[in-house]
């Protein structure tokens, strides 16, 4: 079955995310855009996954819990998990391995923890957009430890993209999928398909208007479940 997706979306928990990136707004717009499945991927944290998952169930949108990890090399890698519990457990480990620097909301932005009905229930006090001590070669095994998958984010972009930071993707890193932004051309996309990777065109949305529209971006899945998504992305 064809499943239309956006597997890299930030909420208002990410300091660089707009405060309008609330659970109800995200799943509501995803539904309007004709998407079937989305993923919550805030920086180094899964604290808003529960709220978006619950809002998604009420809106009929499948939501995967995840995060966008910043490695020791300052490469961004998306981690996706089969369940909320797995994401939250991994989030605890990631939280114990990142530099703890107090956030300054007036400089970096707010880091809002929300309920499924868009109420602010807390705020993350330490800045989330900092590097962890987790190396890029560790990320696939870290995800697998919690039943998930890992893939390098926006590999074509200069900011925190793996190609800009490290020059190439080493086979020993173990990645089976890559994310390429909508700005990259067909030649670049085909290069990575020909190297055997599953290629995704996620939005990395920090604002509501950035969320993917239903278009040519779909995955062929056995079923509309987190497990089926992970199976697809973990296969090479």
pTM of this structure: 0.96
3-class state of residue 220 by DSSP? strand
Contact (Cβ atoms closer than 8 angstroms) between residue 202 and residue 210: no
Classify domain 2-233 at the CATH superfamily level: Metal-dependent hydrolases (3.20.20.140)
Q: Stretch 24-33: mean pLDDT, rounded? A: 97
Q: Give me the pLDDT at residue 65, please.
A: 98
Q: Which helix (H) or strand (E) holds 217?
A: none
Contact (Cβ atoms closer than 8 angstroms) between residue 10 and residue 205: yes
pLDDT in tens, 85-134: 999 999 999 999 998 999 999 999 999 999 999 999 999 999 999 999 99
Joined together, the tokens standing for residue 173 give 């890193």
Q: Where exactly are the structural domains of the chain?
A: 2-233
- Using CA atoms, how far apart are residues 138 and 173, in angstroms rounded to an integer? 8
- Using CA atoms, how far apart are residues 90 and 96, in angstroms rounded to an integer? 10
Q: Give me the pLDDT at residue 235, please.
A: 74
pLDDT in tens, 33-74: 999 999 999 999 999 999 999 999 999 999 999 999 999 999
pLDDT in tens, 156-202: 999 999 999 999 999 999 999 999 998 899 999 999 999 999 999 99
Q: Give me the pLDDT at residue 178, please.
A: 98
Query: Percentage of residues in the chain with pLDDT exceeding 90?
Result: 95
Q: Stretch 204-227: mean pLDDT, rounded? A: 93
Listed in sequence order, the residues at least 6 apart from 234 whose beta carbon sits closer than 8 Å to its beta carbon are 149, 176, 177
pLDDT at 236 over 60: no
């Amino acid at each position: 079955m064809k499943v239309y997706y956006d597997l890299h979306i930030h909420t208002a928990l990410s300091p660089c995310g707009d405060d309008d990136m609330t659970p109800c707004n995200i799943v509501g717009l995803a539904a309007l855009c004709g998407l079937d499945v989305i993923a919550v991927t805030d920086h180094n944290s899964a604290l808003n996954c529960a709220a978006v998952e619950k809002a998604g169930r009420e809106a009929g949108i499948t939501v995967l819990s995840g995060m966008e990890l910043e490695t020791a090399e300052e490469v961004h890698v998306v981690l996706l998990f089969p369940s909320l519990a797995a994401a939250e457990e991994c989030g605890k480990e990631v939280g114990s391995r990142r530099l703890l620097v107090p956030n300054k909301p007036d400089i970096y932005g707010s880091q809002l923890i929300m309920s499924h009905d868009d109420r602010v229930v807390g705020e993350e006090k330490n800045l989330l957009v900092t590097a962890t001590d987790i190396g890029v070669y560790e990320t696939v095994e870290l995800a697998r430890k919690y039943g998930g998958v890992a893939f390098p984010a926006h590999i074509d972009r200069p900011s925190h993209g793996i190609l800009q930071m490290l020059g190439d993707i080493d086979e020993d890193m173990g990645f089976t999928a890559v994310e390429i932004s909508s700005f990259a051309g067909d030649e670049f996309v085909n290069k990575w398909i020909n190297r055997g990777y599953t290629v995704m065109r996620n939005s990395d949305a920090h604002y509501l208007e950035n969320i993917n529209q239903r278009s040519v971006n779909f995955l062929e899945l056995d079923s509309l479940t987190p497990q089926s998504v992970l199976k697809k992305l973990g296969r090479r």
